[in-house]
Amino acid sequence: MKTAIILFPGINRERDMAMALEAATGKAPAVVWHTETEIPAADLIVVPGGFSYGDYLRSGAIAARSPVMDALRRRAAGGTNVLGVCNGFQILVEAGLLPGALMRNAGLKFVCKQVRLSVENDSTFFTRQMPKGAVVTCPVAHHDGNYFADAETLARLEDGGRVVFRYAEGTNPNGSLNDIAGIVNDAGNVVGMMPHPENMIEALHGRTDCKPLFDGLAAA
Amino acid sequence: MKAKVTITLKTGVLDPQGKAIEGALSSLDFAGVGNVRQGKYIELDIAETDAAKAEAQVTAMCEKLLANTVIENYHIELV
């Protein structure tokens, strides 16, 4: 299985993501700079976390208008799986690849801690080895993770089973509507989430709760 | 020509920063203050001299980048 990571100035979680992808697939991901207009052949394209363009204007806003994003849009439309984590989620939302918006945390503070994450949809490419209803520990680190969508969009997400992850057990760290931590697009091939599963997969991370997510990628 | 763009959160979108400012104003004993909403102000020079074309240009900028129309409204003033 081939993977690719898209890199923007200010992204800083790409190495953690590359290690997680390599551990799961046995191959290092291709790294694609934001000025590229083509993305090499890959079964999964990941937009990692960080602080692209210093979060200027709105988190993810400037990265979402980069040259590489047209290529990403084409690949997503063609059915390639796309995963956005943290800033990557913000970028996908700003690019219109996922609905809604990620706003300033309700408590106004940057949150860096572990939350409990409930798996709500086990049919996506990222959750196929994680049973629905499973609750895992996962770190979050963000200032703008407060998921917002208008009532109609929210109803569409909920009715379509498109909420993939929810903050569980009262651990919502940012005021997200319906405790939403991650969603999938209508076509089922673009997943975005605020928490960092790539940082909960090996003994050195303290726990390995999120390893099945990555193991599931290569299982297809 | 100069464009002045004001970006505000749509009605109904929670504004925790506005709430924090409101709390601070109240703690400074400013009475009767409500509905504090924080927005953004962007100023830019444009070469276009025709007002209608300039407005169309800045509107496109707002739709494509300056505002996130999922949560924000924008207002353009040309001077």
Print the domain residue range for B57: 2-78
Q: Is A138 a catalytic residue?
A: no
Who among A101, A104, A149 is closest to B68 (CB)?
A: A101
**In this complex, do A103 and B66 lie within 8 Å of one another by their Cβ atoms?**
no
Q: How many domains does chain B have?
A: 1
Is the ipTM here above 0.90? Answer: no
Q: Is A86 a catalytic residue?
A: yes
CATH number for B42: 3.30.1280.10
Contacts of B1 (CB under 8 A, 6+ apart): B45, B46, B47, B48, B49, B51, B54, B78, B79
Domains of chain A: 3-219 (3.40.50.880)
At residue A220, the pLDDT reads: 60
Q: Which residues pair with B41 in a beta bridge?
A: B6
Is the CB of A148 inside 8 Å of chain B's CB atoms?
yes
Report mean pLDDT in 10-residue bins for chain A, 220 residues.
97 97 97 97 98 96 97 98 98 98 95 98 96 97 97 97 97 97 98 98 96 89
